[in-house]
Structure 1
Amino acid sequence: MTTTMEFPMTPTSATQPAVGARVPGRFRREVGYLLSGLPLGTAAFVLLVTGFSLGVSTLVIALGVPVLGGTLAMARYFARVESAQIEYVTGRALPPLPERTPRGGWAMLADAQGWRDLLHAVVMFPVRVTTFSLSVSWMAGAAGGLTYGLWSWSLPRDENDGLADLAFGWSGRGPDIAFMMVLGAFFLATCVPVIRGLVAAQTGLGRVLLRDGGRL
């Protein structure tokens, strides 16, 4: 009579995805978050600042109360969108908000979370412009630098031969292409950590503005 010993099966590379396999998907989510931030932030900033200005200027005729109330409701909507994006890109949900009791009249303006959401839209607008610009510039620098030799012929040439000539006095197309490719390789090598840092900064600030910092 023979006995067989069964050993627990360990996950292999065929059944367990490598950590590196998750990087492209995460990177795509992070890039999508940064790129979508500019149109979303622009819409939120324009609508909410316009609504706030109109509401404040018409408070004397009582029309400003519903205008400001609607502006705060709109601010809460944009905040919910941002909260969903933060959870999607980081995998960490924001602390839940207490249920909001419907109110009318002047009581609408006592919505502390709505004012916080309005502040978030205003403060985050320049942040989103900055993160959008840096992320696009970094990715364009990587793609443009590495493919510079394919399209550099179309650039007009004057008294200098490109950035290599301007920076180091290296004239000629060869040094110019080599310099740009090295620059593109630098942007490519640092693209993931730079994008990740921009996402961390934007989502971190968003968490502080959308929720009480002490509750994070």
Structure 2
Amino acid sequence: MREIIFDTETTGFYANEGDRITEIGCVEVINMLPTGRELQRLINPERDIPKEVTAVTGHTFEMLRDKPKFAEVAREFLDFVGDAVLVAHNAKFDMSFINMELERAGLPPIPASRFKDTAAMARERFPGSPASLDALCKRFDISLESRTKHGALIDAYLLAEVYLELNGGREQGLAFDESAGGAGKVAFPARPPRPAPLPSQVSEREREAHAAFLETIGGDRTLWKRLGLV
């Protein structure tokens, strides 16, 4: 299944009060594993950026002044996303900004049904525990060393790892086999036969003790003796 893990950086918290997107980062995953395809764009927000936001993202209006406006990258973003589900942390926040920018660009919004929220997934799985991206990275032992500032693409890659863990982690290596007659069937990798059987690790003393125990619970009537296991 193809999904897009994405994150946005913005000038503030309120899409309906004039705040704008300054960066968008997208990572393509198939069956919850990154494919290597990504999209990252810095965006001219067409307004000032508060100092407290710059302290978090590193973005200033001066560094973004010559970057494309969202309307100029909107079609590229939509083409990259296609019809995939959009996975974000606190998805309502990112959804509100994406759809606000699409509306400004004269494009239809993306339906809420196409967004998946990893924060809600984490709260359901770990009720009462912190559900921030940082907290989940620490819970799943995901390194934050590459992140000196909050960057959309860096955070999207971190979220891709968190998303995998929230869905069973590395056990996803037992991939769903869609070629075997439908989704939901697990394809276990074939193991080659052992070239020679392993020798028994049971000592003669242990064997005699086991035989004596079987006599106390039924002797020849026990399942072990009927199957020739003793």
**Structure holding more strand per residue:** 2
TM-score (norm 2): 0.25
Structure (1 or 2) with the larger CA radius of gyration:
2
Q: Using CA pairs under 8 Å that are at least 6 residues apart, name the structure with larger relative contact order, 1 or 2.
A: 1
**Structure holding more helix per residue:** 1
TM-score (norm 1): 0.26
